[in-house]
Amino acid sequence: MSMINYASREINCKIVYYGPGLGGKTSNLEFVYEKVSPNTRGKLISLATETERTLFFDFLPVDLGEIRGFRTRFHLYTVPGQVYYNASRKLILKGVDGVVFVADSQVDRAEANMESMQNLYDNMAEHGYDLTRMPFVLQYNKRDLPNAAPLPELEAMLNPGWEVTEPAKQKPSENPFRPGVPLVEKLPTGEWWERVPSFEAVATTGAGVFDTLKAVSKLVVRALG
């Protein structure tokens, strides 16, 4: 998980962008890298495979403040989208502090989205991580395309949620990033249910990219506190 560098007074946190191939993970990181101040970012590293690239870079956001006198440096990674690169996916997830799942909104990518989401849960479990208990957000990318699935369908498919069994957490909670959208709610059947924050995006233009990043970053910082 997060690493403390006492010499530079920095806490280093790892955020991984996960999702199906060609869903927009690379576009997210490239847009962030382009917009972040050169003075606060490291070098953009690209590891090419036959079908796509794995990217990573680090940056120091100036708007998140300090935690106990330490600044927070984020290291952003993408994973290969193709399932046959699973060994690389597992390796990149090691030590992760926050996850962004980038879903492809196109109707014909439903199966690829679900396969990748299941793969994420499986790989996290192999590392001993509980995805329901760590910073995790969803991004529905390519919302500008004519064959984009309706948002309620994507939510039902990829963000069905899980039951809240701890009494202390059984209270209504609104998505702090999207007012009016519940994160924790009581179902008509009596169970308390929780979902993860989700965002609409068009990564090629940057729409929703920083909303997604800010959300997962704030959740990571909150977890550190």
Model confidence pLDDT, tens digit, residues 74-97 = 999 999 877 668 888 898 999 999
pLDDT > 80? residue 166: yes
pLDDT > 70? residue 98: yes
Q: Residue 71: its pLDDT value, please?
A: 85
Do 103 and 15 share a structural domain? Answer: yes
Split at pLDDT 50, 70, 90, the class of 63 is: low
Do 141 and 106 share a structural domain? Answer: yes
Do 189 and 104 share a structural domain? Answer: no
Q: How is the chain classified by DSSP, letter by letter? A: --EEETTTTEEEEEEEEE-STTSSHHHHHHHHHHHS-TTTB-PPEEEE-SS-EEEEEEE--SSS-EETTEEEEEEEEE--SSGGGHHHHHHHHTT-SEEEEEEE-BGGGHHHHHHHHHHHHHHHHHTT--GGGS-EEEEEE-TTSTTBPPHHHHHHHH---EE---GGG-S-EE-TTSTT-EEEEE-TTS-EEE---EEE-BTTTTBTHHHHHHHHHHHHHHHH-
Q: Residue 102: its pLDDT value, please?
A: 98
Do 177 and 71 share a structural domain? Answer: no
Do 174 and 84 share a structural domain? Answer: no
Q: Residue 2: its pLDDT value, please?
A: 75
Do 175 and 72 share a structural domain? Answer: no
Do 182 and 135 share a structural domain? Answer: no
| Domain at 27, CATH number | 3.40.50.300
Do 180 and 139 share a structural domain? Answer: no
Split at pLDDT 50, 70, 90, the class of 177 is: confident
For a pLDDT cut of 70, what percent of the chain falls above it?
94
- Work out the average pLDDT over 117-137: 95
User: What is the pLDDT of the chain when averaged over all its residues?
Assistant: 91
Do 171 and 76 share a structural domain? Answer: no
Q: Residue 1: its pLDDT value, please?
A: 64
Residue 166's domain comprises: 162-195
Do 86 and 141 share a structural domain? Answer: yes
Do 169 and 76 share a structural domain? Answer: no
Q: Give the global pTM.
A: 0.94
Domain count, the chain: 2
Do 218 and 148 share a structural domain? Answer: yes
